[in-house]
Amino acid sequence: MNVIELLADLQARHDETAARAGELREQIAHLTAALTETEARLMDLATTRKVIAELVPVASEPEPAETNTAYQAIVNAFNQHPDQEFRARELHERLGMPTDEAAVNITRSRLGRLTCQGFLTQPGRGRYQKRT
């Protein structure tokens, strides 16, 4: 390789490196702008949270958590009787819930969801049992 070829090779490498440096500068500019926007959004959110916290009255006692939802009552019934199969209407009677058709249909939907989530199995049509 002679000197002219060496200089041409060095010039080509210089041009490639300069192009890459330009690309990186563009990326830095883009990321800097995105960072500035994100930091401004964080400041807006912090200010909003602070304003809301000042407007909401401080409660002397926290509200008690609702512990007896319909789902919890159903799950508790199955936990208390893990080997027993239940129909939706039987479950309503056991839990003292209304036994009208609309209410029982809602419970059937809940039992279906609990089955899909893997908590219950369906050993027979319309029958549900805790998965063991």
pLDDT in tens, 51-99: 888 887 665 555 455 445 888 888 889 999 888 999 999 998 888 888 8
DSSP 86: B
CA 56 to chain centre: 26
Residue 67's Cβ-side half-sphere holds a number of Cα atoms within 13 Å equal to 3
Round the average pLDDT of the chain to a whole number and report it. 87
pLDDT attached to residue 71: 84
74 and 110 in contact (C-beta within 8 Å)? Answer: yes
pLDDT attached to residue 9: 95
Q: What is the pTM of this model?
A: 0.48
Q: Name 93's Cβ contacts closer than 8 Å, sequence gap at least 6.
A: 99
Residue 103's Cβ-side half-sphere holds a number of Cα atoms within 13 Å equal to 12
